[in-house]
Structure 1
Amino acid sequence: MQGRLICTIFLLLSLHSGAIQAKANVSIDIAVGLENFDFQPLFEEFSAQTGIKINILAFNNNQLKSELLQYADAMQLPDALIIPSDYMGLSELRFSAIPSSWLADKLTLRVKNTSKVGGVIKGIPLMYGNHLVLYYNRSLVPEPITDLQHYIQQGHFKAPELGWNFYEMYWFITFVNALQEEVILSDLPHLDTRAMRLALSNYQLLLNSGIIDADCAYQCLMNRFKSAQLRYFVNGIWAYQQLKDTLKDNLAIASLPRWGGHQLISFASSHVLAFPANAVESEKKPHLKLLVEFMQSQRVQDRLWDELKALPTNSDSLDKLTKRKDIALIQLIASLNHTYPQPNEPIMAYIWEAILKGLTRYLGGVYSVEDTTEYMQFIVTKSQKNETKAQHR
């Protein structure tokens, strides 16, 4: 009897040891962008807790989308991605539908909406924001610009004062959002509008004012602002830490200014954990679920700002941050009130392209403002039809 009991215990220990060894051999390949967030410490902690190894595929942010599309063509997509939520609209990546039970309870409705494409949950929101704010150098100016149009009308600028990434449409859309709330209505592009025409005219006024240098793009603007050559700088919250490291207490933050009484409004979005190539239906499903639970846990969400300078999606974690005596952080969170959720629909890629093509033609004098918005609408509608035809071949 005693010998049989010993054999049973030995068998159970062997099975347990085998299970641990099996999990230790499990790995998750995950692709992330390099520049903004260092997930390595979190992933190492997850691996220590679960025995599941995380293999990071790191890309430069501006190459991530094109690299993922190449991986999709070669049928070599990783198990998981951490991406801006609008990437979920890339149908080529075949993102898994995710059970609603995988979403944490402490997500606000606004954040939950960033997890969906066509009403289907395609990603787990981990970090929120990704929106534009107005940075200013307190050693050069005591207060932010509150109305940009009024400020321009009052000044004669010998040199640029405002850093504005002029030919990046994420900046231009703030002028459109100030005048119309939606660029997609009932799944259709909504570009040939009076609001779009007025936004184009206002954007030309900004260009001609002398307050910006349209030929100075993102990195050029970063360098100028950090070296105190610019008083103001419109950039995303992702740039906060880099700017803070340089300017220290001279860095101040405000919401975007108004233009002629209309609030300039940035898009906001989440960074999500998503699973391409229908990975949720693979044999790794239980291991991916463990990663989801870890990244959404209160403990991890509470640490996101201090470790990554990213705003959490957990409402309790965000509330804790608002109670800190950190004026810059409080302003970053408050600026979310002046944002619209960025659409994740696939058509948005065509909208960005159509707006850029139209804007350059308008500024170049090729089209009138009326012809420009008509052209934008034509381009995106044609692209959408061609995409639909390609999907049905």
Structure 2
Amino acid sequence: MQKNNKELVLWHEFDGPGDTSIEVLEGICKLYTERFGIQVTPQVMNITELITGLNGVKDTCQGPQLAMVPADMSSYVENGLYSEVPGGLFADVLTEGALSTMQVNGVQYGVPVLRGNHLVVYYNKEIYASAPTTWDIFEEAAERLSAQGIVPIGADLQQGYWFIPFLSAFGGWPVEAGKPNLATSEMKQALHFIRNKMDQGVLTSLDGSHGLLEQFIDGKIGAIICGEWIYNHLDKHMKHKLGVCQLPVIAGRQSLSMSSSIGLIYPNHSLASEVRENILSFTRFMLSEECQSMWAFQVQRIPAHEEVQNHLAASAAPNKKEILSLLNHARPMPIDSFMIHIWEALSAGLNELPKSNPEQALQKMDLTIQKSLSAFQS
């Protein structure tokens, strides 16, 4: 229940202890409330809860006025009853390239606040003397590091987003010609690769919000594949020991991460409600140089505002400059309406992989997406 008819509720998923972004989001909401007299209440949840909540809006007609989400959640437009963002409304502060990251079939359903969201390699300089930019380096270090109780590299390989660099290194991509593209030889090769490397002790899979970060900081993992969004947390804890480099070359091919934006969407047709002007006012406040600079300099995120992003690049430490440069080597995340089914299928297959084998994991992916697409289309 809302306290009054002016209150705005904002859902978000900055939930892990390492995701310091929550500090700035809560600060901006508080600042806006104090200056404009309109209560903005952020509500945190994990990514699964956020997905479930947004996809339940159509059935329940209940939802927040705003949600801050990864760009691909723009595609939940039908289940989330998203409001369309009026054309050109924020063109004075955001480039067309930034705005396009939250368009579905050419229609604007979200407003980017942050850019990046790409994966990089973080490594411990006390374990690797130079940047481990090829997979061979992890293989060659395995025996030496295992004797010290250290795993060469880790990732969260129950999450489809972390799996994309391995798939891309074998020439695969989850979308082809505007359709899901999972049951492929490239997918099978990537699944075999990660299963073999986990069996050999070269690669470990841990929860990306907790265990992966804790063991890396503790020196139990030499390098991790993780998101640019976690840099501030690692920088605080590791300082001079932290290095950043591109994703590894595997069998002669460069791994590629997806990139996207994180921005505001407007569920339950909130822009058609009596609080429309308050919502748009808060959105513009979020895009102001003041607030965009808070994201950039307080928690070291990549702002959507290009001028602020340029200020960040000019003053950033070497590790942050590397993260910014690697954004140019990432591939934009597709935001087709079927992406929700792709992520669901990837997750199902990756959860099956440790319990059985790559063939069964691939079969699980294929069955999952066929079933979900059939239900979606019926």
TM-score range (shorter-chain normalised) is 0.7 to 0.9
Q: Could you tell me how far 1:309 is from its partner in structure 2?
A: 2.5
Q: Does 1:268 align with 2:259?
A: yes
SS in 1 for 2:224: strand
d(CA) in 2 for partners of 1:26, 1:220: 40
Q: Which of the numbers 97, 101, 105 marks the counterpart of 2:88?
A: 101
Q: Is residue 150–residue 260 contact of structure 1 (8 Å, CA) maintained in 2? A: no
Q: Could you tell me how far 1:79 is from its partner in structure 2?
A: 0.9
d(CA) in 2 for partners of 1:247, 1:348: 35
Q: Could you tell me how far 1:121 is from its partner in structure 2?
A: 0.9
Q: Does 1:376 align with 2:365?
A: yes
Q: Which of the numbers 183, 189, 202 marks the counterpart of 1:198?
A: 189
Assess, with a 3 A threshold, how the Cα gap between structure 1 residues 258 and 27 changes in structure 2: closer, same or farther.
Answer: same
Q: Which of the numbers 329, 339, 345 marks the counterpart of 2:330?
A: 339
Q: Is residue 153–residue 223 contact of structure 2 (8 Å, CA) maintained in 1? A: yes
Give the AA of the match of 2:164: I
Q: Could you tell me how far 1:275 is from its partner in structure 2?
A: 0.3
Q: Is residue 196–residue 373 contact of structure 1 (8 Å, CA) maintained in 2? A: yes
Q: TM-score, normalised by structure 1?
A: 0.83
Deviations 1:202-259 (A, max 9, x none): 2233223311234x43322222111112221111122222222211221121121111
Q: Which of the numbers 161, 164, 177 marks the counterpart of 1:170?
A: 161
Q: Is residue 150–residue 259 contact of structure 1 (8 Å, CA) maintained in 2? A: no
Unaligned ranges ≥5, structure 1 = 1-23
d(CA) in 2 for partners of 1:85, 1:270: 5
Assess, with a 3 A threshold, how the Cα gap between structure 1 residues 194 and 287 changes in structure 2: closer, same or farther.
Answer: same
Assess, with a 3 A threshold, how the Cα gap between structure 1 residues 303 and 154 changes in structure 2: closer, same or farther.
Answer: closer
d(CA) in 2 for partners of 1:367, 1:84: 29
d(CA) in 2 for partners of 1:338, 1:294: 30
Length, aligned pairs only: 363
SS in 2 for 1:77: coil
d(CA) in 1 for partners of 2:355, 2:324: 38
Q: Which of the numbers 145, 152, 155 marks the counterpart of 1:161?
A: 152
SS in 2 for 1:213: strand
Q: Is residue 159–residue 346 contact of structure 2 (8 Å, CA) maintained in 1? A: no
Q: Could you tell me how far 1:148 is from its partner in structure 2?
A: 0.9
What residue is the counterpart of 2:12 in the other structure? 32
What residue is the counterpart of 1:387 in the other structure? 376
The correspondence of residues 230-241 of structure 1 with structure 2, limited to 5 A, is 230-241=221-232
SS in 2 for 1:233: strand
d(CA) in 1 for partners of 2:159, 2:201: 18
Q: Which of the numbers 22, 35, 52 marks the counterpart of 1:49?
A: 35
Q: Does 1:130 align with 2:110?
A: no
Q: Does 1:286 align with 2:286?
A: no
What residue is the counterpart of 1:11 in the other structure? none
Q: Is residue 142–residue 152 contact of structure 2 (8 Å, CA) maintained in 1? A: no
Assess, with a 3 A threshold, how the Cα gap between structure 1 residues 42 and 367 changes in structure 2: closer, same or farther.
Answer: closer
SS in 1 for 2:132: coil
SS in 1 for 2:243: strand
Assess, with a 3 A threshold, how the Cα gap between structure 1 residues 362 and 69 changes in structure 2: closer, same or farther.
Answer: closer
Q: Could you tell me how far 1:106 is from its partner in structure 2?
A: 4.4
Unaligned ranges ≥5, structure 2 = none
Q: Is residue 189–residue 377 contact of structure 1 (8 Å, CA) maintained in 2? A: no
What residue is the counterpart of 1:139 in the other structure? 126
d(CA) in 1 for partners of 2:141, 2:243: 23
Q: Could you tell me how far 1:306 is from its partner in structure 2?
A: 1.4
Give the AA of the match of 2:131: P
Give the AA of the match of 1:271: I
SS in 2 for 1:337: helix
Assess, with a 3 A threshold, how the Cα gap between structure 1 residues 110 and 182 changes in structure 2: closer, same or farther.
Answer: farther
d(CA) in 2 for partners of 1:270, 1:52: 26
Give the AA of the match of 1:143: S
What residue is the counterpart of 2:60 in the other structure? 74
- Higher mean Cα deviation, 347-356 or 251-260? 347-356
Q: Is residue 89–residue 344 contact of structure 1 (8 Å, CA) maintained in 2? A: yes
Give the AA of the match of 2:370: T
d(CA) in 1 for partners of 2:350, 2:102: 30
d(CA) in 1 for partners of 2:357, 2:31: 56
Assess, with a 3 A threshold, how the Cα gap between structure 1 residues 272 and 325 changes in structure 2: closer, same or farther.
Answer: closer
Compute the RMSD of aligned alpha carbons: 2.6
Give the AA of the match of 1:79: Q
Q: Which of these two proteins has the greater Rg computed from alpha carbons?
A: 1
Deviations 1:167-221 (A, max 9, x none): 222211111123446422343211232322322232233223311234x433222
Q: Percent identity?
A: 24
Give the AA of the match of 1:118: N
d(CA) in 1 for partners of 2:355, 2:86: 49
Deviations 1:76-108 (A, max 9, x none): 211111112222222321111111222333434
Q: Is residue 154–residue 204 contact of structure 2 (8 Å, CA) maintained in 1? A: yes
Deviations 1:300-358 (A, max 9, x none): 22331112322101111111111115111101111112212222223122212323434
Give the AA of the match of 1:99: P
